[in-house]
Structure 1
Amino acid sequence: MKNQNILQRLALNEDLNFLLTNRIPRTAFTRFMGWFSRIRHPWVRDASMAVWRSFTDIDLSEARKTSFNSLHDCFVRELKPGARPLDAREHVLVSPCDAIVGACGRIGDDPGAQVFQAKGFPYPLTDLLGTDARGLATIDTLRGGSYVTLRLTSSMYHRLHAPTPLTLTHLTYHSGDTWNVNPIALKRIERLFCKNERAALHARLDDGTPLLLVPVAAILVASMRLRAVDVALNAQYRGPHQLLSNARYDKGEEMGWFEHGSTILVFTPPGFALANGVEAGHRIRMGEALLRR
């Protein structure tokens, strides 16, 4: 326990954390960890999970399985049925994941539709989504709306769920870097979310209201799997970056997962507000109220 506390204190040291996670060959290290985490040898699995536990407060009591074939198998674990009750109120959009709320608030009315990744670090949605016809059309519907940044830590449940009944109409994959997306990096690297690998999930609610979800990858986790797409979206992906979809999801239905943990950005048009208690630093679980009409 003493050694674990020492390791956790080191991990929380901002300068050391930033140096270790962002001053190394990020892409090469991410590819290595993607391969290493899938090794199924019991010694490798057990040693890897022991190190992981030293740095995190991971709780596997809610996991559907009680044993795992590899470190990756644990990363993408499913939960027991009923582990995440849904707020069933029709006017409520629930959190699509377990997370810590980061920057949140109102989307700017300016041409770039400015939002914030951290205090004093704005970024325009034109940089996040691009300036092609699809990106600009989406931005036009979002100006003056609301946004929430949801940060998944490495120990959290890593699956993405529909925040309300919706239809996924279009997916735009943006290849990019693999900067760490923890609060330390967000205070130091401008427009970080616009630089990293990400997927813009364009959706519509049953009444036609647009909704945008943007999973952002990071170091060690530059890979996403979406049920509407039968390939992994990562640095090795060479397929089309514009993918049409007509996948329908009920509230709380699983849409995909990260290969580890990262960030999900949620954007709504005007007419939505943050649910009670949702503010920066708030811990939220999938299925709890995030936004309300």
Structure 2
Amino acid sequence: MPEGRIVKSLSGYYYVKSGGQLWQCRARGLFKKKQYSPLVGDWVHFDETENGEGYIQSIEPRKTELVRPPVANADQAVIVHSVREPDLQPLLIDKFLVHAERAGMKPFIVFTKIDLGAPKGELEELIAVYEGIGYPVVLTSVVKNCGLEQLGQMLDGHISVLAGQSGTGKSSLLNALIPEVRLKTGDISRKLGRGRHTTRHVEMLELSTGGWVVDTPGFSRLSFDGWEAEELGTYFPEMAPLADQCKFRGCLHFREPQCAVKGAVDTQTVHALRYEHYLQFLTEIQEQRRYE
């Protein structure tokens, strides 16, 4: 039985690349019974039928898995965010980061449209915060051909997911890195202040260096559905090592006395903005759990 990787999912079909050929496959009904669907990035075994079509029979165990966007086996998350149009939203960046950490992916941040100019001092402060935590940051401009070579090097040899809200320039970046794909790009909605969706499906795009980039539909909201309040702090790298120093086991770093994380905020070892976002996420998780 041939084996291949799902590189695109569209309208109920899974496009499997195997031996240099692309097979248009359906999934067997057994996956619906198990409530376990194939994802882009999955290694699968499939039956060949005719005319380049087939049926997926089994899925190899996944190394990583994202629910939204639905992607399997990616090892790197590229958090793409523009400095203007739409404007900087650190809360959204941190939300993408904690979801990438939870999925076991290595994240880094790409700021786009730097030719438009960020608010004075704000971008520099954010870069200092994220690089201080250990997250690499790349500054890019498709217009000025800036940062693209560095970004390409960081994508080499990885399966990378591009994550970010609509209008941040993900498709423009991919067009610059892989000109032959000619992805459709969209304008910014003046009324809403954000980009219109230009990517309609999940697809893996192959880099000439051997890596893969997963282009996903733009989105701006990630859910904390299914998360436990106690796990959130483990996905903030600057907070996680401090948990053992808190007075109480299972400390949520909120109202508890003698909390090492709150002490680190006071001494500016943990940045106040990151801690503020942590508390917002914590509240969101607790509210969701309350209504389950």
**What range describes the TM-score normalised by the shorter chain of this pair?**
under 0.3
**TM-score, normalised with respect to structure 2:** 0.26
**Is the strand fraction higher in 1 or 2?**
1
**Is the helix fraction higher in 1 or 2?**
2
